[in-house]
Amino acid sequence: MERDVELWLVAVFESIQKSLCLVKAHVTGIKFMLDRDLISFNPTQRTCVTHERLILINDGDVGSRFEWTINQRPSYFKISPTRGYSKPNSVVHFNVEFSPASQILYLSCKAYCKLEKYTTLELTMSGSCVTMPKSHEVIEFSIPVRTTATRTITKAYPPAGTLEPYLTGHYYSGVNHLYGAETHPTTLAYEITYAPLVMTPQYGYHFGYLKLRGDQNKHYMFRMVGKSLPPLPNETIRSSLPALKPYVQPLVATNWLAYNQLFVCYYNFIPEGSQGKKENYLSAEMREHILLPALTERTIELHLTPYRLGILHIKVFLKNEESQEYQWWDLTYDIVRPEDEIGPIELTTFARRSVEYSILVDNPMIDSTVFTGTSRHPDLTVQDSLIVPGRQKGKLKVKYYSFLPCDQQVGSIDVDSPELGHSTYLFNLTALPSPSEKELKFTAELGKNVTQTIELENLSSKPKTEFTLNVSHQDFFVDKSVNIVQGIKTSITVMYEPSSLVSCETTLIAKSPHAGVYTFSLVGQVIPPMPQGPFNVHYGELVSLPFKNIFTEARIFRYVVDNPIFTLRTTSEQLKNKKVRRSHNLKRHLNFSSA
């Protein structure tokens, strides 16, 4: 084969190495040959013409002119065309003709194919022109091309006598002598093998003759008729494949001839039970051509992706378009549901908050199909169905929602299509504790209170569930427990009553064993108390002034008036926490201070 060669000339002395020069060369392959060097024609009669085929093979990188010469005068053999040009990597077909003009027992001659500037190829041709004796028997063969069949011809003959075999006919071969049968010493046997390398036409045959020449000019003639049928598959494969999974099928291709062959590669899809379109069943790719060197094997690959469940039948062909010879493989696949699962897909969210995901579904067919989704986890929902047109993709919507926090759980969704089969998607589901709800801000004057409401919802399957409420600061007040009906948002009152002039922040936790935990951030801002009044007091009249102990424990309070015209019922007293006291005095503003 043609190629470029590069070599460095290197000088080495002890540990020193030096490159001297680069030698470049161009190698050209020269290879001319005949597909056979002997043509033995079947016995024929005078004025009859028989033909054989001969091929000049050029597997090299250069072309050459050729010319045939036959070493016989007069010649009963003809080769056409007698001259021409052989291109690189090509073949030239010749028709070899035997047309004897007179009877002759055996005729042989040589022909030479002179290749300009190159070599000379030699061909030996032989034949006979005799009066054809009546055939004692017709031996018939009918086998697939590139296979062999053997028949044994037996002939009773005296042990002292001899029989000499003479076999003609392309694709027929036999031993060069007869052997005696063990069970019948007076019977001689001869084995004939038929090994066709090309198919015969519909009404064509491969003919051959076996002539047994015995003593005293005794001759026995046997006629062989061979039918070369289409080839058997190189391999018959039956296996199971998962749907929608790419697969590579290796196939071993063979070149059975002594010269290169260029094959066209293609495949046929055979629908099972109906005349469906190939595009609705599979996608497949393979190389378009392959050049096989003489008498070698190569592996080719069929890349396919099956779509539908069921039986998939494919025939792969390699065909020599010049000779029409081919080889093929018979492939049958049981398309089953894929055993592996897709995923896992991580979905993480907070309790009572959803997270969405889209499953990408692909319809490689040319017709539309319907994908249906089925969830196998109570907190995982999926779109019921989705119609995807041919050769398009779609998205099945998935939502994960859990009203309770939970550690990682495994859920799955089954996606089905009547034509494309079943797929399973795995999900790792995690629900974190829910973050705090909307922050509530309270502003109240010291000694007074304000209220706001929060909403709780029973999302569980229980018709009614109890929430326990807990606030961690003394200035906020809420019911200790409340019953919430399923599916109805219920308002709960939260009161802020400051007990000091210090603002505060705290957390309200509403907890249910069935409906989960709600967390609320509470911020309380206190305003210093404002003076009350004025109060109009008439002489001798008693006025009641409310006063509350804002502290969380009992305290002693002193009452002081700064004008002597006003009198107090008591100047000090102990009040329980959060208790309101009404004191009586006359007129003017009173100043209260804690003991």
Query: Tens of pLDDT along 545-576?
Result: 777 888 878 888 888 888 877 877 777 888 88
On the question of pLDDT at 133 being above 80, the answer is no
Long-range CB pairs of 536-542 (<8 Å, 24+ gap) are 536/587, 537/566, 537/585, 537/586, 537/587, 537/588, 539/586, 541/586, 542/584, 542/585, 542/586
Distance in angstroms (rounded) separating the CA atoms of residues 458 and 467: 9
Q: What pLDDT is stored for residue 274 in this prediction? A: 55
Q: What pLDDT is stored for residue 579 in this prediction? A: 65
Distance in angstroms (rounded) separating the CA atoms of residues 302 and 267: 9
Q: What pLDDT is stored for residue 246 in this prediction? A: 92
Q: What pLDDT is stored for residue 590 in this prediction? A: 44
Q: What pLDDT is stored for residue 187 in this prediction? A: 76
Q: What pLDDT is stored for residue 182 in this prediction? A: 58
Residue of higher predicted confidence among 29 and 161: 29
Q: What pLDDT is stored for residue 584 in this prediction? A: 47
Give the pLDDT mean for 61-85.
Answer: 90
On the question of pLDDT at 254 being above 90, the answer is yes
Q: What pLDDT is stored for residue 18 in this prediction? A: 87
Residue of higher predicted confidence among 48 and 582: 48
Local confidence band at 195 (pLDDT 50, 70, 90 cut-offs): very high
| Strands, sheet with 297-306, edge to edge from the N-terminal-most edge strand | 247-254, 297-306, 282-285
What is the residue whose two structure tokens read 């089953």? 336
Give the pLDDT mean for 47-69.
Answer: 90
Local confidence band at 593 (pLDDT 50, 70, 90 cut-offs): very low
Q: What pLDDT is stored for residue 565 in this prediction? A: 79
Among 179-188, 323-332, 356-365, 374-383, the least confident range: 179-188
Count how many Cα atoms sit within 13 Å of the Cα of residue 569 in the half-sphere of its side chain. 11
Q: What pLDDT is stored for residue 34 in this prediction? A: 93
On the question of pLDDT at 282 being above 90, the answer is no
Q: What pLDDT is stored for residue 570 in this prediction? A: 77
User: Are 379 and 400 a contacting pair, CB within 8 Å?
Assistant: yes
On the question of pLDDT at 100 being above 50, the answer is yes
Q: What pLDDT is stored for residue 586 in this prediction? A: 44
Q: What pLDDT is stored for residue 192 in this prediction? A: 94
Give the pLDDT mean for 155-177.
Answer: 80
Local confidence band at 141 (pLDDT 50, 70, 90 cut-offs): very high
Distance in angstroms (rounded) separating the CA atoms of residues 482 and 495: 16
On the question of pLDDT at 184 being above 60, the answer is no
Local confidence band at 389 (pLDDT 50, 70, 90 cut-offs): very high
* β-pair partners for 371: 386
User: Are 341 and 426 a contacting pair, CB within 8 Å?
Assistant: yes
On the question of pLDDT at 54 being above 50, the answer is yes
Local confidence band at 595 (pLDDT 50, 70, 90 cut-offs): very low
Local confidence band at 270 (pLDDT 50, 70, 90 cut-offs): confident
Residue of higher predicted confidence among 214 and 16: 16
Give the pLDDT mean for 200-217.
Answer: 84
Cα 360 from chain centroid? 15
Give the pLDDT mean for 364-368.
Answer: 88
Local confidence band at 583 (pLDDT 50, 70, 90 cut-offs): low
Distance in angstroms (rounded) separating the CA atoms of residues 8 and 2: 20
Local confidence band at 296 (pLDDT 50, 70, 90 cut-offs): very high
Round the average pLDDT of the chain to a whole number and report it: 87
Burial of 472 (0-12, 13-18, 19+ CB in 10 A): exposed
According to DSSP, residue 102 is labeled S
On the question of pLDDT at 482 being above 70, the answer is yes
